[in-house]
A and B are shown apart, each in its own frame.
Chain A
Amino acid sequence: MDSLRTLHRQIRIYIFFSILLISTLVLAAGWLLLNYTSLSPGISLAILGSFSIVLAILFALRITAYVSQPFNDVRQAIAHVSPGAGLAPAPNFDRIHLGHELVTNLCRQIYELASLSGVNTKKTTTDDSLAASAAIALPIPLLVIDKDQIIRFANEACLQYLQKPAQDVLEKNMYPLLDLSFQTEDTLDSWLEICQASKATDTSSWDRVRLKLTDNDASRQFDMAATYSKGSSSGAETVITFFDHTAKYAQDDQGLGFVALAVHELRTPLTLLRGYIEVFEDEFAGKLDPELTGFMSKMSASAQSLAGFVNNILNVMRVEENQLTLNLTEESWAELVQGAGDDMRLRAQVHGKTIEYELSPDLPTVGVDRVSIYEVLYNLLDNAIKYSGDSQKIIIRSTVNSSGQVETSVQDFGVGIPTSILPNLFDKFYRNHRSRAQIGGTGLGLYLSKAIISAHDGHIWVQSKEGEGSTFSFSLLPYAQLAAELKTNGNTAIVRGAQGWIKNHSMYRR
């Protein structure tokens, strides 16, 4: 009954402060009337009396509304589960401030009692057996889970869909069975957590959810809808339905084959362009006037940049389709960083920039996928060059942070990024309107970099101030930590996937 005591305390505090406020206001008004008006004491007293009465009425109304709110919420919950209540809304648990715990507990009891007595908020038929046979015969996979995510019911279509017999599904925890991946952070699990914390009933739907079937390599892709009703002791807390679109989404996946082909076709002329530009640069060096030599450097840098962009397109497709795998090997970080910086030097020079290094001398070796991590450095440096504005300097720093991770940053002193758009910066295709208008590109680089760094168990972040420049930083594990992992699992190589998909995280809730 602690929750009841809490309610008492809240009401006492509220009333105490209200009385304190009224008294202060009356005293202040009295003092003002006596000192700053020339009214006779009789009239002053009459005014003060009337003022006190009005104030008392207003506060009484406010206190009544406040104190009776919990009763109103409970009444609303009862109305919600009452038969024939029509569209009576469920109480909004987010808005309850007074006696939150007591009210939510009482409402939960009401919903449980309602489900025990067979009264259902969503009931459309009075014949339970008819409802059950309809659910069993429904050609769409349907699954019912309880509050502990134990599967309480799965119809025939669902068992077929999961390729499992009923005894392997029913009364089992859903997480080992349903390896779901979502396109955004809005997963089934994040929704369930919100529902369990603050909702009586709710519905939600998700597009393009991916399910990996446990016994083989096949996967399904579907749209999913779920309905939640709190506290049903019969177990039917959440009903989930799958709308299979595996074939349709697989067609989209074939896009990868197309992109790979397009990339091949783009690269051939690019190889030639780079080759012939190099011939010109070599053989006409000294014969061309400086302006033409400058043009030649710009052509060369642009061709190199195009080669990098072509790689980005393909890799973003791979991240999207979960086909970008990383092989982590031991690499000298200082060497890799300097190699990437040196490769970008020409491009930097063409834009009038210089790349400076501030590499701590004690950098350990790191466990990275050489090709992918090079792309991260390439993209961050490319951004720094693009967004440097009139400033010339770009600094690459790398140090070991307090938790032993290797932290690397690329700093420019250019246009900077408005605070309002910082949170979206690592989204796919995200570019703010100003940079879109001023600078070419597609906004793939940061999205790809984040996917690659995450797959390395690292983090990537940005600090920026408009007009002063930006610093993009990322952290990587030293190889020693990965070597420990290798030793434990007895593997000879570490292979990771870079994912554009978000796992239904709560495997740990099993």
Chain B
Amino acid sequence: MIDDTATANPTPKRVLCIEDEHFIGELYARALTKAGYKVTVELDGQKGLQAAQTNQFDIILLDIMVPTMTGIEVLRHLRDPSETPELAAKVIITTNLDEDKETRASIEAQADGYIIKAEITPKELVSILQKL
């Protein structure tokens, strides 16, 4: 599947970063752009969802604590086929929230990855995304 996308899409991979902390968005965008990704940053949940539903992205980095609509709600809309049919993007949760194991497991089950931001640097994020 991953190889198919890579061969079918020779243009740079597009990343949507839904992140309300402006500087974190900036750091991630910088590192990803340098690594050849095309990055869009959205600062709140609702705008992030709208952007995601345009289906123009390969990867969505989704923070949980974002204004107007939480990342969990965004994820629910993205996983609802009646609202978002055939979402192509992989959704990676990027958060600093420490959910208890059950909550985290239920979020992880719907996402393609779960990252605690404080535990990685932007470059480490790039290398994680490259392995997707």
A residues near B (Cβ < 8 Å) are: 260, 263-264, 266-268, 270-272, 274-279, 282, 307, 310-311, 314, 318, 323, 325, 327
Contact A268 B96 (CB under 8 A): yes
B 118-132 binary contact with A (CB < 8 Å = 1; else 0): 111111000000000
Interface size on B, residues (CB 8 A): 23
List residues of chain B with CB within 8 A of the CB of A279.
Answer: 27, 30, 122
CA distance A395 to B117 in the complex (A): 30
Which of A271, A318, A323 is B118 in contact with, Cβ under 8 Å?
Answer: A271
Task: Give the residues in chain B near A270, CB-CB below 8 Å.
Answer: 118
Q: Is the CB of B117 within 8 A of A267?
A: yes
User: By the criterion CB–CB under 8 Å, are A274 and B65 in contact?
Assistant: no
Asked whether B116 is an interface residue with its Cβ less than 8 Å from the other chain, the reply is yes
User: B84 → chain A, closest Cβ, in Å?
Assistant: 28
B116 touches A327 (CB 8 A): no
- CB pair A271–B98 under 8 Å, yes or no, is no
CA distance A413 to B78 in the complex (A): 54
Nearest B residue to A307 via CB reads B118
- 17 A-B pairs (CB sep. < 8 Å): A267-B116, A268-B21, A268-B117, A271-B96, A271-B117, A274-B118, A275-B23, A275-B27, A275-B31, A275-B121, A276-B27, A279-B30, A307-B118, A310-B118, A325-B101, A325-B102, A327-B101
Per-residue 0/1 for B85-111: is the Cβ within 8 Å of any A Cβ (1 yes, 0 no)? 000000000001110111001000000
Q: Which 4 residue pairs across A and B have the least CB separation, nearest first?
A: A267-B96, A267-B118, A275-B27, A271-B117
A270 CA / B119 CA spacing, docked (Å): 9
Given the known A-B contacts A264-B65, A310-B118, are A323 and B30 also in contact in the complex, defined by CB atoms under 8 Å?
A: no
Given the known inter-chain contacts A282-B123, A307-B119, please indicate yes or no for A271 contacting B24, CB distance below 8 A.
Answer: yes
Main secondary structure of the interface of B (DSSP, over half): helix
Given contacts A272-B23, A279-B27, A279-B30, contact A263 B119 (CB under 8 A): no
B24-A260 in contact (CB<8A): no
Q: Which residue of A lies closest to B105 (CB)?
A: A327
> With A and B bound together, what is the CA distance between A330 and B110 in angstroms?
22
* Chain A facing B: main interface SS: helix
Residues B122 and A275 in contact, CB atoms below 8 Å apart: yes
Q: Please name the residue on chain B nearest to A323 by beta carbon.
A: B100
Give the tally of cross-chain contacts (CB within 8 A).
Answer: 59
A346 CB, min distance to chain B CBs, angstroms: 11
Residues of A within 8 A of B120 (CB): 274
B9 CB, min distance to chain A CBs, angstroms: 28
Q: Given the complex of chains A and B, what is the CA–CA distance between A270 and B116 in angstroms? A: 11
Residue from B23, B98, B105 within 8 A of A260 (CB atoms): B98
A311 CA to B97 CA, complexed, in Å: 11
How far, in Å, is B44 (CB) from chain A's closest CB?
A: 16
| A271: B residues at CB distance < 8 A | 21, 24, 96, 117-118
**Contact indicator B121/A263 (Cβ below 8 Å):** no
In the complex, the answer to whether B24 meets A314 with C-beta atoms within 8 Å is no
Which residues on B sit within 8 Å (CB–CB) of A310? 118
Which residues of chain B have C-beta atoms less than 8 A from A282's C-beta?
123
| B122/A278 in contact, CB under 8 A | yes
Q: How far, in Å, is A151 (CB) from chain B's closest CB?
A: 35
> Closest CB of chain B to A417's CB: distance in Å?
30
Could you mark each residue 56-90 of chain B with 1 if its beta carbon is under 8 Å from any beta carbon of chain A, else 0?
00000000010000000000000000000000000
Task: Identify A275's interface contact among B24, B65, B96, B98, CB under 8 A.
Answer: B24
Q: How far is the CA of A275 from the CA of B98 in the complex (A)?
A: 20
Asked whether, in the complex, the Cβ of A278 is within 8 Å of the Cβ of B21, the reply is: no
B residues less than 8 Å from A323 (CB atoms) = 100
List the A side residues contacting B23 at CB < 8 Å.
272, 275
Chain A CB within 10 Å, residue with most, of B116, B119, B121: B121
Query: Known contacts A267-B116, A267-B117, A278-B121: does B101 contact A272 (CB below 8 Å)?
Result: no
Are A272 and B123 neighbours in the complex by a CB distance under 8 Å? no
Chain A, Cβ-Cβ closest to B116: A267
Interface residues of B in 1-49 (CB under 8 A from A): 21, 23-24, 27-28, 30-31
